[in-house]
Amino acid sequence: MKSTESTPIHDREVWANLPVEDVEQTREFYRELGFKPNEGRNGEHLASFLVGDSDFIVHFFQRDIFEQASGGNAADLTKRNEIMFTISADSKSEVDEWARKAKKAGGSLFNKPAEIQNGWYGCGLADPDGHKWNVFYNGS
């Protein structure tokens, strides 16, 4: 019998899959924020982006496709939270710029840019479907 070793989990690719009502609206929102498209992965029912230095993959699937693949209903983000991603910023002005861009692109702010605690400055933004992101700068 041939021995097979599995690849350690820390060497695996991991990505997030989120449901959206309008893939094209989502694609435009994240492009306007400066997210990097995941070339070769985008399509009619999928908007995919690479996020951060490690190119973390975030897939935004048309809601019905997501629900079929997940075997259940997607969360109603007007009533509940599902997950909140966090992005680091290099300055307070960059946090402010994220907030401005998100509102201009059709998103909303659930926390306006502000001093938080212990040298942290940040904001909370949501895309048109309600998926949440924090943007934080630590000036200490």
Tokens standing for 121? Answer: 């400055």
Q: What is the mean pLDDT of residues 95-122?
A: 96
**Residue 107 and residue 60 in contact, taking contact as beta carbons nearer than 8 Å:** no
Q: Give the model confidence (pLDDT) of 10-24 as tens digits.
A: 778 889 999 999 999
Identical fold, 14-75 and 83-140: yes
Domain 83-140 has CATH 3.10.180.10: yes
Taking the domains of the chain in order of start, what are their residue ranges?
14-75, 83-140
Which strand ranges, in their side-by-side order, compose the sheet holding 84-88?
84-88, 132-138, 120-126, 108-115
Q: Give the model confidence (pLDDT) of 27-57 as tens digits.
A: 999 999 999 999 988 899 999 999 999 999 9
Q: Give the model confidence (pLDDT) of 115-139 as tens digits.
A: 998 899 999 999 999 999 999 999 8
Model confidence at 114, in pLDDT bands (50, 70, 90)? Answer: very high
1 pLDDT higher than 70? no
2 pLDDT higher than 90? no
Model confidence at 4, in pLDDT bands (50, 70, 90)? Answer: low
CATH code, residues 14-75: 3.10.180.10
Q: What is the rounded radius of gyration, in angstroms, for the C-alpha atoms of the chain? A: 17
Distance CA 93, CA 123 (A): 11
